[in-house]
Amino acid sequence: MADHMLKKYIAKVEKTVYVLETIEFVCETERDAEELLDSYCSGDAVYETDTVEITEREEQEETIDHAYIESSEELTVDEFMEINGGQTLERK
């Protein structure tokens, strides 16, 4: 049996994405627009309607906060054969 066997490693990457949205509000007063904006920012149910429309969405930056290997598992025979072409894995 070989000293080293191929394994499949599963990793997790936590990212923060910064987005700039341009939103148009059709309201009678600036106060009404501010209330809709507050509602939108708090995650309340404000959807695009005749009075609220997201006109532009731009992803400005993406940062990786944390990355780690979560687990590993041995390859099945079929996966090994597909990757390695059926040849024995040799390490030098």
Q: Specify the residue for token string 């429309």.
A: 53
- What pTM does this model have? 0.54
- Is the residue at 89 inside a domain? no
What pLDDT is stored for residue 11 in this prediction? 95
Residue 45 in domain: yes
pLDDT in tens, 3-44: 677 889 999 999 999 999 999 988 999 999 998 888 888 877
* Residue 43 included in any domain: yes
Please report whether residue 92 resides in a domain. no
pLDDT at residue 1 tops 60: no
Number of domains in the chain: 1
Domain assignment of residue 79, yes or no: yes
- Exposed/middle/buried for residue 56 (C-beta within 10 Å: 0-12, 13-18, 19+): exposed
Q: Where are the alpha helices (DSSP H) in 9-85?
A: 30-41, 77-84
Q: Is 91 a member of any domain?
A: no
Cβ proximity of 2 and 80 under 8 Å: no
- What local confidence, expressed as pLDDT, does residue 36 receive? 87
Domain that holds residue 31: 7-84
Q: Which two tokens stand for residue 42?
A: 């708090």
